[in-house]
Amino acid sequence: MFRASAALVAVLAITSLLDRFGVIALPEMLSGALQAGFLIFGMIALFSWFSGYGNRDALGAADAIKSEVNG
């Protein structure tokens, strides 16, 4: 969930920046929808990261190393 949300946030952020600096021209309604999507999916990504879904692999690797060291 974290990786999908983070990837979507990155795409929304890049598109929003391109629109803001005039590289691409989006209609006003679509630009507002991009900003809302960035906010919503950004909050989902942050929530999933802080609730442990984002760093589950790192924690699993740390537990495996700890069990190898302790025997």
Q: Each residue of 5-22: pLDDT tens digit?
A: 778 888 888 888 888 888
* Alpha carbon of residue 63 to chain centroid: 25
Higher-confidence residue of 65 and 40: namely: 40
pLDDT digits (tens, 9 = 90+) for 30-63: 888 888 888 888 888 888 777 765 555 555 666 6
pLDDT of residue 12: 84
- Which residue type is seen at 22? G
Q: How many CB atoms lie within 10 A of CB 38?
A: 18
pLDDT of residue 57: 57
* Alpha carbon of residue 31 to chain centroid: 19
**pTM score, two decimals?**
0.56
Tell me how far apart the alpha carbons of residues 31 and 25 are, in angstroms, rounded to a whole number.
9
Domain ranges of the chain: 2-70
Residue 42 buriedness (CB in 10 A; 0-12 / 13-18 / 19+): middle
pLDDT of residue 61: 60
